[in-house]
Amino acid sequence: MSTHGTTGRFQREELVGKYLTFALGNEEYSVPVLKVREIIKIMDITAVPQVPEYVKGVVNLRGKVIPVVDLRLKFGFPAQDYTERTCIIVVEVALAAGSRMMGIIVDHVSEVLNVTAEEIEQTPEFGDEIETDYMKGIAKVRGQVKILLDLDRVLGVDGTIAMPQPTAA
């Protein structure tokens, strides 16, 4: 068995609050509303070389350069053309170097949910294939399961996104 991801950190009371939910394929994910700065329609993204595929590049958010991560690719979903409903959720994440604004591309934004303590459950163990480290827990709301994401973990791999450059000789 690998490490029990969330076991040690699960704190139901800390997870209670408002969440912005969004869809990736048929799955529903959510991030704390307090982390969300704004939601913008998909826009032209400037590609940055030498980064993993899921880092789509940078966008200009009113004069600020912010990196954008495609969450579909990050979570291993097949790539899909962006549509009218595709959104960039601008979030504030705590990285090793401090707090940063970042954009995450999602299929579409669903709603803002008030998640109560009774609705929150610990992430079950799925075995080894699925990483549960970046899930804070799950919420069962109206018969649907929403995954509560730990954005700092999803986006903050060692505090940087870029990978070392593959040796191109």
Catalog residues that contact another protein under the rule CB under 8 A: 44, 46-51, 58-60, 62-67, 95, 97, 100, 102, 159-169
Residue 16 vs 58, nearer CB to another protein: 58
Smallest separation (angstroms) from another protein to the CB of 76: 21
Smallest separation (angstroms) from another protein to the CB of 86: 18
Q: What angle do CA 79, 83, 84 make, to 5 degrees?
A: 160
Return the structure tokens found at 77.
């979903």
What CA–CA distance (Å, rounded) separates 93 from 152?
5
Residue 28 vs 150, nearer CB to another protein: 150
What CA–CA distance (Å, rounded) separates 86 from 102?
16
Smallest separation (angstroms) from another protein to the CB of 53: 12
Residue 11 vs 46, nearer CB to another protein: 46
List of residues 6+ apart from 75 with CB closer than 8 A: 24
